[in-house]
Amino acid sequence: MATTEMKSATAKSVKAVAATAAHPKVGTATAAPVAVAKVAPKVTGKPVVKRSVPITKVAAKPLAKPKTEKPAKVKKPKLVRDSFTIPKAEYTVLDDLKQRAGKLASPVKKSELLRAGVKALAAMSDPAFLAALKAVPAIKTGRPTKAKAG
């Protein structure tokens, strides 16, 4: 057992000596100042000319390529959400028109039907437009009231 204790004791002392040598305490006499060697720049034989204006390199221009015109980007229209009140009978007409469009191999959404109706009204003459407006009865606007139970 004595040999194991001696090996561990010598290993500890070697580590302690290495630690103190690697990291000497500041301000102790054992820490010697480190000398820094200065390296002289190489002399190539050509005199160095300092200029006050930096030299700019002129890039060679490539041959002019024919410009292809890019199609102008079409901006998407801003969408607006809205809600409205419609009588049940007219709402079923919207469903009938959707089915009719589907039979004609052109399925549409309700919003597309409404937009097509707005375009059709906009294309009408003034007397036809007034006649279409008078054919639609006025209804009370707003949300329907909930019936109270009991």
* CB 86, CB 140: distance < 8 Å: no
83 pLDDT band, cuts 50/70/90, is confident
* CB 126, CB 133: distance < 8 Å: no
**pLDDT tens figures, 107-132:** 999 999 999 999 999 999 999 999 99
**Residue 5 scores a pLDDT above 90:** no
Residues 6+ apart with CB under 8 A from 87: 139
Domain that holds residue 118: 88-134
Quick check: is 121 in a domain?
yes
**Residue 95 scores a pLDDT above 60:** yes
Predicted local confidence at residue 115, as pLDDT: 94
pTM (global) more than 0.75 = no
| Domain tally, the chain | 1
**Residue 14 scores a pLDDT above 60:** no
Quick check: is 128 in a domain?
yes
**Residue 27 scores a pLDDT above 90:** no
